[in-house]
Amino acid sequence: MSHDTRFASLMSHVCRDLRDRYVCASAAKRIALSCGFTSVEASQIAVCAAELASNAVRHAGGGVLHLRILKDAITGVTIGLELRCEDEGPGLGDVDSALKDGYSCGRFLQPDDTRREGLGMGLGTVRRLMDDLVVEPKIRGTVVTARRFASAPKRHAAGAR
């Protein structure tokens, strides 16, 4: 989905430990509700904010989550919300695999693996709940941008766009 947009940055939060995912989720839900998303949609956006913050802490030692309202460049009307998480970790090697459920820490989890580091469903969940997902691996770090648009026709169950 392509929109001519401008941004209204609302919040940037430095994520240093797993407690920060709650701060990010709470802020994302509050902002989503203020943008006119339903309670269910706002909760889904909050889950995505928590997942991105959690991934930055678990896999990169921390990062920054930016929440921005997307506005139509011509009318100024709010058209959605963007979550952008930046980290300077070791980078994400195989993006396609990372988007599949059960993949974590560079490999597919096995049935007997302990789940201390999660289920390997974070990026897949973000892909399913948001309308647009771009994962940009860098030489050092990763930038993940996820957007949810108001009045989107449907959620896409497969593929990052």
pLDDT of amino acid 80: 94
pLDDT at 151 over 70: yes
- Tens digit of pLDDT for each residue in 69-102? 999 888 888 999 999 999 998 877 776 656 666 6
Domain hosting 136: range is 5-149
- CA Rg value for the chain: 15
Q: pLDDT-based confidence at 7, cuts 50/70/90?
A: low
Q: pLDDT-based confidence at 133, cuts 50/70/90?
A: very high
In a domain, 127, yes or no: yes
List, in sequence order, every beta strand (DSSP E) within 5-161.
5-15, 63-72, 78-87, 103-104, 107-108, 132-137, 142-149
Question: Using alpha carbons only, what angle is made at residue 89 by residues 102 and 115, rounded to the nearest 5 degrees?
Answer: 30
Round to whole Å and give the CA distance between 157 and 111: 24
For the entire predicted model, the pTM comes to 0.79
In a domain, 161, yes or no: no
Q: How many domains does the chain have?
A: 1
CATH number at residue 95: 3.30.565.10
